[in-house]
Structure 1
Amino acid sequence: MIRQMLISLLAVGLRLSVASAEEASVYTPQSALQSTPMRVEVIDATSFRDIETGARYRLYGVDSCLAMQTANLNRQSWPCGAVAIAWLTNATLGKWVSCNALRETAGQLLSRCASSEHQDLAADMLKEGLAIVLPIAEGQEVRAYSQLQDQARKQYKGLWSSQFMMPWDLRAKQAEGSASSR
């Protein structure tokens, strides 16, 4: 009797281990690699929101001028933040946008995104000199992005023709100012 129970338990265990091995060899995606095409509204120079779902996306590996930030070209001030926002708006307005989300941080999906006219929005912003590769300390450097930034810098495109403060430094300065005013 005990022998029959042991044989039955072994048989059940064998069937379970075969079933688990079969399940382990079957690939099941955790989530879609690429978002379905969406219409977006621009939040700032490097992020936008899906107008249907409200999901927020941020371009991976780059930063750009803050909305009210300016740069100086030959002692003449120009609104680099507004220009970068306008560029991203023009690149996405009325166009389908699709993103490959790499990870989520601070309620935003860090993503490589494309529109119907731009294979890689961040890369094209870098080519125009309207974005800056995030510092290596951020852990997001994309080697191809660094090369595009170097080309824009050598050609004095966009920001690289002007004097400007790095956006992360300006954010830190603003945070320091608001902390000291409390």
Structure 2
Amino acid sequence: MAAQVSPIRVEVIDGTHFRDIETGDVYRLSGIDTCAPGQVARLSRQPWPCGTMATAWLVNATLNKWLACVTVRENGGERVARCASASYPDLAAGMLHDGVAVLAPSSPEEPVIASYSLAEQQARKAYRGLWSSVFQMPWDWRAQHSEGRRAVAKEARQ
């Protein structure tokens, strides 16, 4: 693992991505996923913008704060990383604990981190955040909505 040498300040892109304001490097938090921008969950019959909430959580956790990030790997122009601030020893674990993120599907490049699994289990048991609601897993929502965008684009070309 390559460590980020100096602390960084960031601007949030969405619930899992942010950009170093000095270098422009894009980071994605390792091991988690969040609702996509525009994605909605339902608490009883009331919809709420879970993608917006995840982004807001990350903005609140990083605004005017220095982050220390350890890059796990590079992937398509972004740094997949584990990051911490003075308030959060691990941002991804904090998001899982508060129920605004879910564990990402594991892969050989990104195995499940035991403490992340525990944080998600605790959030589920306590019905925090997403776990108090009905929602679609972010990767399923994205797949469904990207198919819809492709179908609309195809109809527009015909």
- Output the TM-score relative to the length of structure 2: 0.91
Instruction: Provide the alpha-carbon RMSD of the alignment.
Output: 1.4
How many Å apart are 1:117 and its aligned residue? 1.0
More helix by share: 1
AA partner of residue 66 (structure 1): A
Give me the identity figure in percent. 53
Q: 2:59 aligns with which of 80, 86, 89?
A: 89
Aligned equivalents of 1:46, 1:136: Cα separation in 2: 16
Taking CA–CA contacts closer than 8 Å with sequence separation of 6 or more, which of the two structures ends up with the larger relative contact order?
A: 2
Partner of 1:4: none
Aligned equivalents of 2:151, 2:43: Cα separation in 1: 31
Structure of greater Rg:
1
Deviates more, 1:154-163 or 1:65-74: 65-74
Partner of 2:104: 134
Aligned equivalents of 1:56, 1:150: Cα separation in 2: 29
Partner of 1:149: 120
**1:1-182 matches, cutoff 5 A:** 33-137=3-107, 139-140=109-110, 141-181=112-152, 182=154
Which stretches of structure 1, 4 residues or longer, exceed 6 Å deviation after superposition? none
AA partner of residue 105 (structure 1): N
**SS where residue 36 of structure 2 aligns?**
coil
Q: Is the 8 A contact 2:12 2:55 kept in 1?
A: yes
| Number of aligned positions between the proteins | 152
Partner of 1:21: none
